[in-house]
């Protein structure tokens, strides 16, 4: 028997990403985002939803650039901290013990300590309500060499990403691998 839970943001899992921007003075800032996801393959793009009240909102809109930084479970404390304080009130990179590095291709800083970094150029924004959806074209991906697998792509075991579960207000690391994706299609083709 299903129970209706009403109009709530209860999908899972949500990523824990940290978005990097520069403010008007060129000060690097970071904020935690859980309302986000890959939203297009060609061109490769990512979407994040920000409240207008965040400092990041104006910084991102003015510079038309941001980075998406994927923290490891080992950096959960830093990722949480930058989600509860504002760059309006001081240097969040310093507060969280993180290092800002200028991106190569966009006007935004990335987080050196986090293993996976996406440089994004703002292409679209849609005001939805409390949140505005920003779409960024991914113009480069950087990854620590240690987290790359034999195929040259980042692995779950290397990156150790984690998720935010809104109903429990908690973070969960990714669990075990349960099997290959598109397996049904492969079987289909083989037949």
State the Cα–Cα distance between residues 16 and 32, nearest whole angstrom.
Answer: 7
Tell me if 67 contacts ligand FMN by CB under 6 A.
Answer: no
Residue with nearest beta carbon to ligand FMN = 83
Helix, strand, or coil (residue 152): coil
DSSP 183: H
How many alpha carbons lie under 13 Å from residue 122 in its C-beta half-sphere?
23
**Is 39 near ligand FMN (CB under 6 A)?**
no
**Cβ closest to ligand FMN, residue 90 vs residue 149:** 90
Rounded-to-integer distance, Cα 96 and Cα 1, Å = 45
Specify the residue, 11 or 191, whose C-beta has the smaller distance to ligand FMN: 11
**CA 109 to mean position of chain CA atoms:** 14
Binding mask 94-133 for ligand FMN (x = CB under 6 A): ----------------------------------------
Stretch that binds ligand FMN, among 4-12, 51-59, 104-112, 175-183 (CB under 6 A): 51-59
Rule CB under 6 A: say whether 34 interacts with ligand FMN.
Answer: yes
* Number of shown-chain residues binding ligand FMN (CB under 6 A): 21
Helices (H), strands (E): how many in the chain?
A: 5, 12
> Applying CB under 6 A, which of residues 10, 74, 85, 126 lies at the interface with ligand FMN?
85
Nearer to ligand FMN, 81 or 139 (CB): 81
Inter-residue contact 45 to 138 (CB < 8 Å)? yes
| E-assigned strand segments in 54-107 | 65-70, 100-102
Q: Which stretch binds ligand FMN (CB under 6 A): 44-52, 94-102, 114-122, 148-156?
A: 44-52
Backbone angles phi, psi at 60, to 5 degrees: -65, -45
Q: What is the closest distance, in whole angstroms, from the C-beta atom of residue 186 to ligand FMN in the complex?
A: 35
Looking up tokens 């650039």 gives 65
Which residues of this chain interact with ligand FMN, rule CB under 6 A? 16, 29, 31-35, 49-51, 54-56, 80, 83-88, 164
């Amino acid at each position: 028997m299903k129970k209706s839970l009403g109009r709530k943001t209860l999908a899972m899992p949500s990523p824990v990403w940290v978005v990097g921007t520069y403010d008007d003075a060129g000060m690097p800032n970071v904020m935690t985002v859980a309302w986000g996801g890959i939203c297009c393959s060609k061109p490769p793009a990512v979407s994040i939803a920000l409240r207008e009240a965040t400092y990041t909102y104006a910084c991102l809109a003015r510079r038309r650039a941001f980075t998406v930084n994927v923290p490891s479970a080992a950096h959960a404390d830093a990722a949480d901290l930058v989600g509860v304080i504002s760059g309006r009130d001081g240097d969040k990179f310093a507060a969280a013990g993180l290092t800002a590095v200028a991106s190569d291709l966009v006007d935004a800083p990335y987080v050196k300590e986090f293993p996976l970094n996406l440089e994004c150029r703002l292409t679209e924004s849609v005001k939805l309500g409390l949140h505005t959806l920003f779409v960024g074209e991914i113009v480069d991906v950087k990854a620590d060499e240690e987290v790359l697998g034999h195929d040259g792509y980042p692995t779950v075991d290397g990156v150790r990403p984690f998720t935010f579960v809104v109903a429990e207000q908690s973070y969960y690391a990714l669990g075990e691998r349960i099997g290959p994706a598109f397996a049904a299609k492969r079987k289909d083709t083989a037949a």
